[in-house]
């Protein structure tokens, strides 16, 4: 649900934010248009977006774990802004972060994202970023979720 994904961008749980961004980016361009201000906020160095909370099965027990997904969130936010053609002033360290997480140049990012969409390479990139988030959380590779596009892998 697009409205639910947009609301998750405000969540303090970095895992919810990163997954909502990846799923929204896997959809046709434009789902995140209403969130450009929040996307710009997410570009800043990790703060609350570095927090990860896990819910254990059906038990309402939330546990904070020391995993920082802030760079993943920042990279996905930069990709989303570039995909929308929205202007943003990148923090000084963002170029290195986007290069490390996505292998993308910050200069010319909108054209790079458009090319990735055209070549059907954006969803595999989003899957790789999602897999890296799960790896950081300690989720074994055999327990990977389906592709963010909904296809089985």
Q: What is the pLDDT of residue 40?
A: 96
Q: Which two tokens stand for residue 138?
A: 């300690």
Burial code of 49-83, b = ≥16 C-beta within 10 A, e = fewer? bbbbeeeeeeeeeeeeeebebbbbbbbbbbbbbbb
9-45 pLDDT, tens digit each: 998 888 889 999 999 999 988 889 999 999 999 998 8
Q: Which two tokens stand for residue 23?
A: 């799923």
44-96 pLDDT, tens digit each: 886 544 555 555 555 555 666 778 889 999 999 999 999 999 999 999 999 99
Q: What is the pLDDT of residue 65?
A: 72
Q: Residue 2, class by beta-carbon neighbours within 10 Å (0-12 exposed, 13-18 middle, 19+ buried)?
A: middle
Q: What is the mean pLDDT of the chain?
A: 85
Task: Give the CB-side neighbour count of residue 147, counting CA atoms within 13 A.
Answer: 13
Provide the whole-model pTM. 0.87
């Amino acid at each position: 649900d697009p409205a639910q994904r947009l609301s998750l961008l405000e969540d303090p749980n970095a895992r919810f934010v990163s997954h909502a961004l990846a799923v929204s980016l896997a959809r046709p361009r434009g789902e995140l248009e209403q969130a450009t201000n929040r996307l710009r906020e997410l570009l800043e160095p990790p703060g609350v977006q570095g927090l990860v909370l896990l819910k254990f099965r059906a038990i309402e027990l939330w546990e904070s774990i020391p995993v920082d997904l802030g760079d993943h969130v920042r990279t996905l936010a930069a990709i989303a802004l570039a995909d929308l053609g929205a202007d943003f002033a990148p923090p000084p360290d963002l170029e290195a972060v986007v290069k490390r997480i996505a292998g993308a140049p910050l200069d010319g990012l909108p054209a790079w994202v458009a090319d990735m969409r055209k070549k059907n390479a954006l969803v595999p990139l989003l899957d790789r970023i999602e897999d890296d988030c799960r790896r950081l959380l300690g989720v074994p590779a055999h327990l990977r979720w389906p592709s963010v596009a909904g296809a089985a892998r």
